[in-house]
């Protein structure tokens, strides 16, 4: 079974290792953590992701089902009026 799994992984990664179009990096670019451009930063400020992140940081929302695993001493709390909901029909 181990040999079969090794063979499967080797076959799956053949294209990756045989790649002759892209050059693999040895280390990240110098500016990998540079600030985002102003237009992207401005767009992020009004995004749903930013609102949810702020709500979670300030304890107005939780991480969904993950909150059941958070200990009682956590600063996260559940507010059913502000909680997000996804319905698939």
Domain positions in the chain are 44-89
Residue 39 has pLDDT above 70, yes or no: yes
Read off the pTM.
Answer: 0.34
- For residue range 49-89, list pLDDT tens digits in order: 999 989 989 988 876 655 454 444 455 455 555 555 565 65
- For residue range 16-38, list pLDDT tens digits in order: 889 889 888 899 999 999 998 99
Exposure string of 50-60, with b = 16+ CB inside 10 Å and e = fewer, is eeeeebeeeeb
Give the angle 37-39-44 at the CA atoms, nearest 5°: 95
Residue 35: per-residue pLDDT = 92
Strands (E), the chain: none
């Amino acid at each position: 079974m181990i040999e079969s799994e090794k063979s499967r992984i080797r076959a799956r990664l053949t294209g990756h290792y045989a790649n002759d179009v892209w050059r693999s990096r040895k280390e990240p670019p110098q500016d990998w953590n540079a600030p985002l451009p102003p237009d992207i930063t401005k767009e992020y400020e009004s995004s749903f992701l930013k609102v949810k992140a702020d709500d979670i940081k300030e304890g107005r929302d939780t991480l969904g089902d993950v909150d059941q695993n958070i200990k009682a001493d956590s600063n996260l709390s559940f507010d059913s009026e502000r909680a997000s909901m996804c319905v698939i029909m």
